[in-house]
Chains A and B, each alone.
Chain A
């Protein structure tokens, strides 16, 4: 990104975090909607570890993608932008008699957690922009 100097890694990371949290929200909604569907196993998007690895690997040597037709090196996968998360199955400890693995309390907990972390990211982005604005205005 040309504006990497101003919009540093933090913005990039938060942006990706927002994107992935929205996708996770879709999965949690699906689990709640299917709370009574026989044989349904709840799924979730797991991406925290992947994001962390992508963030860490930024320090090492990177093959820069200077042309849109370049293919990023294996393992690098475009750094933070390349994090897609993996869909994992999260069945409850004991399946119901109909084979449904959704635990409502568990899903509600995940819903709230996801929402709070999303809101936190939004707030930090807003703060970053505010700081930038202060700098542009010269502290006025």
Chain B
């Protein structure tokens, strides 16, 4: 029995969802940021998740040889959304171009909100799984009483 790989996998899920949540916060906070150190408006950022084998016992490693083992999740990379910026006519803005248009970040706040709810729910699911593993381990310990 290894309860710890369940814990390990659930915590990897929580870490990944938290990273996603941080990026969503960053996207919302910068929804109107027209300047960045790299120049130009802020570009929305997205995490890319990938399933990687959870390290563990020999048996589970053996199972993974066939690609059928327990997999945890990892943030493989954080990619920038390359869709064009939102152009808004604001001639008085210091960052307006020659035609009077300002390039605002390609962030859709409503979309970010939806993503945020999805990230919250996924995080909660991982917490529930970790709690279940913990309560199972405790139940087994209770046999000793």
Binding site for B on A (CB under 8 A): 18-19, 21-23, 25-30, 32-38, 40, 43, 87, 104, 107-108, 111-112, 114-115, 118-119, 122, 125-126, 129
Residues of A within 8 A of B1 (CB): 18-19, 22-23
Closest beta carbon of chain B to A7's beta carbon, Å: 13
Question: Which of B50, B63, B121, B139 interacts with A122 by CB under 8 Å?
Answer: B139
Main secondary structure of the interface of A (DSSP, over half): helix
Q: Is the CB of B68 within 8 A of A87?
A: yes
Q: Which residues on B are within 8 Å of A, measured CB to CB?
A: 1-3, 5-7, 9-10, 12-13, 16-17, 20, 48-51, 54, 63, 68-73, 118, 121-122, 125-126, 128-130, 132-133, 135-136, 139-140, 142-143
B122 adjacent to A104 (CB under 8 Å): yes
Given contacts A34-B51, A108-B128, 12 further A-B contacts (CB under 8 A): A18-B1, A19-B1, A29-B10, A29-B13, A33-B16, A35-B13, A36-B16, A36-B73, A40-B51, A111-B128, A114-B132, A118-B139
Main secondary structure of the interface of B (DSSP, over half): helix
Q: A33-B16, A34-B71, A122-B143 are in contact. Are A26 and B126 (CB under 8 A)?
A: no
A-B contact pairs, 15 of them (CB 8 A): A18-B140, A25-B3, A25-B133, A26-B5, A29-B70, A30-B54, A32-B129, A33-B9, A33-B10, A33-B72, A33-B73, A34-B51, A37-B50, A38-B49, A108-B125
A101 to B31, CA, bound (A): 32
CA distance A122 to B145 in the complex (A): 12
In order of increasing CB-CB distance, the 5 nearest A-B pairs are: A33-B13, A37-B49, A87-B68, A29-B6, A22-B1
Q: A104-B122, A115-B135 are in contact. Are A28 and B50 (CB under 8 A)?
A: no
- Partner of B140 from A26, A28, A108, A122 at Cβ < 8 Å: A122
In the complex, the answer to whether B143 meets A22 with C-beta atoms within 8 Å is no
Cβ–Cβ contact B50 & A30, under 8 A? no
Instruction: Tell me the nearest residue of chain A to B68, going by C-beta.
Output: A87
In the bound complex, what is the Cα–Cα distance between A118 and B142 (angstroms)? 13
CB pair B139 A28 closer than 8 Å? no
How far is B137's CA from A119's CA once the two chains are assembled, in angstroms? 10
Q: How far is the CB of B69 from chain A (nearest CB, A)?
A: 8
B117 shortest CB reach to chain A, Å? 12
